[in-house]
Amino acid sequence: VWIVDNLEDLSSSYPQIAQAAAQLRENEVVAFPTETVYGLGANAKSDEAVGKIYEAKGRPSDNPLIVHIASIKQLHEVAAHVPVYVDKLIEALWPGPITFVLPKKAGLSDRVTAGLDTVAVRMPDHPLALALIKEANLPVAAPSANLSGKPSPTRASHVFDDLNGRIAGIVDGGSTGVGVESTVLDCTQQIPVILRPGGVTKEQLQALIGEVTVDQALTDETQAPKSPGMKYTHYAPAAQMTIVDGTPSFLQGLISEAKSEGKKVGVLSAKETAGNYEADVVFSCGSRANMHTVASELYDVLRAFNETDVDCIFSESFSSAGVGQAVMNRLMKAAGHRLIKE
């Protein structure tokens, strides 16, 4: 039995993985940490249990869930066919922040796959998540443990803020590391397609297996995304956010203009440039020197703006290389694709 060693008050009633696993087996929903974001888990074989996930999150029922597993044996219990290139990726990247979309096998609740003939599967790289799945001895369906539309939770307190009273419990593992969700890779064709950029980068995938394509909808807003979840607005703070691609002095010009209209202004900035801005609130979000730190802090900062009274938020723009692709994808969604170029 795992003892959760990072206890905050809210989780003191959930010290043991054994208890959380028992609740999963009783078709209750339990939040747990992964290396990316917190997940909201339920027995993937039970319609009743999976129904509770959609209900707790207020999630549209046409948006399928990722099935979390703790062994390769479980992969073959849920997927009907695993291409050779996926074996290679699994060897190098699992447990880790990548989800494979594969032809599904019978046995899972239809509500997990939202009526599709494919299933999304991932083995998370977190000792508590793996222990919970093993102890429950079930495939565990788990979306991010936020209310639908909010940023994904990277701390147990985020889960508590969104879902207290709506779920059976939270396993508190402290802050998650990666900070953005897993990469979702469609592996139903000869050449895999990135449906959602995430913790594993396109560059990593290309180095391992050669050709990888990216769903056109990720770069062209007019296209319908191939992943049902990618069409929904997400992550948006209450105040209107705009991404600014330009110098700090250009961004300061926009701040001053908004202030002259009587607005309270927030800024999301890299640590390196945060000192350049005179605004009502300036939150720094990681360092440009290491984009992993930006990814790791992003959702906490987006949530923190809701604790302030700013009317609008300007965010610096970041490089789309490596994990920056996931960061910019989430920032653009949070901004409703509002982008100002210098």
User: Beta strand 98-103 with 183-186: parallel, antiparallel or unpaired?
Assistant: parallel
Among the residues of 38-102, which ranges form H helices? 47-57, 72-78, 84-93
Residue 144 binding Mg ion, by CB under 5 A: yes
At residue 241, φ and ψ (nearest 5 deg) are -110, 145
Taking CB atoms, the residue at the shortest distance from Mg ion is 144
160-199: contacts with ligand TXA (CB under 6 A): 181-182, 184, 195-196
CB 219: neighbour CB atoms within 10 A?
Answer: 10
Tell whether residue 217 is among the known ligand binding residues. no
**Toward ligand TXA, which CB reaches closer, 281 or 334?**
334
Residue 128 binding ligand TXA, by CB under 6 A: no
**Toward Mg ion, which CB reaches closer, 234 or 292?**
234
Element spanning 282, H or E: strand 281-284
- The answer to whether 315 and 300 have CB atoms below 8 angstroms apart is no
CA atoms of 259 and 67, how far apart (whole Å) = 47
Residue 109 binding ligand TXA, by CB under 6 A: no
- The answer to whether 234 and 149 have CB atoms below 8 angstroms apart is yes
Scanning 141-149, 235-243, 306-314, 334-342 for contacts with Mg ion by CB under 5 A, the matching segment is: 141-149
Cα end-to-end distance, the chain, whole Å: 55
CA atoms of 50 and 119, how far apart (whole Å) = 14
Nearest-approach distance from CB 261 to ligand TXA, in angstroms: 36
**Toward ligand TXA, which CB reaches closer, 124 or 286?**
124
**Toward ligand TXA, which CB reaches closer, 101 or 156?**
101
Residue 113 binding ligand TXA, by CB under 6 A: yes
Q: Which two tokens stand for residue 121?
A: 């599967």
How many chain residues are in contact with ligand TXA, going by CB under 6 A? 30
Scanning 144-152, 188-196, 197-205, 315-323 for contacts with Mg ion by CB under 5 A, the matching segment is: 144-152
C-alpha closest to that of 202 among 185, 218, 189: 185
Nearest-approach distance from CB 253 to Mg ion, in angstroms: 35
Scanning 53-61, 136-144, 285-293, 317-325 for contacts with Mg ion by CB under 5 A, the matching segment is: 136-144
Please select the residue that binds ligand TXA; options are 46, 109, 204, 227, rule is CB under 6 A.
227
**Toward Mg ion, which CB reaches closer, 34 or 144?**
144
Nearest-approach distance from CB 147 to Mg ion, in angstroms: 10
CA atoms of 147 and 290, how far apart (whole Å) = 29
C-alpha closest to that of 168 among 197, 139, 136, 198: 136
Q: What is the phi-psi region of residue 44: left when phi exceeds 0, alpha when psi lies from -120 to 50, beta otherwise?
A: alpha
Tell whether residue 337 is among the known ligand binding residues. no
Tell whether residue 303 is among the known ligand binding residues. no
Please select the residue that binds ligand TXA; options are 11, 43, 74, 99, rule is CB under 6 A.
99
18-37: contacts with ligand TXA (CB under 6 A): 34, 36-37
Nearest-approach distance from CB 145 to ligand TXA, in angstroms: 7
Q: Which residues are annotated as a binding site?
A: 36, 59, 63, 68, 118, 122, 142, 144, 152, 182, 196, 235
Q: Which residues are annotated as a binding site for ATP?
A: 59, 63, 144, 152, 196, 235
Site residues, Mg ion (CB under 5 A): 144
Site residues, ligand TXA (CB under 6 A): 34, 36-37, 39, 63-66, 97, 99, 101, 113, 116, 118-120, 122, 124, 142-144, 181-182, 184, 195-196, 227-230
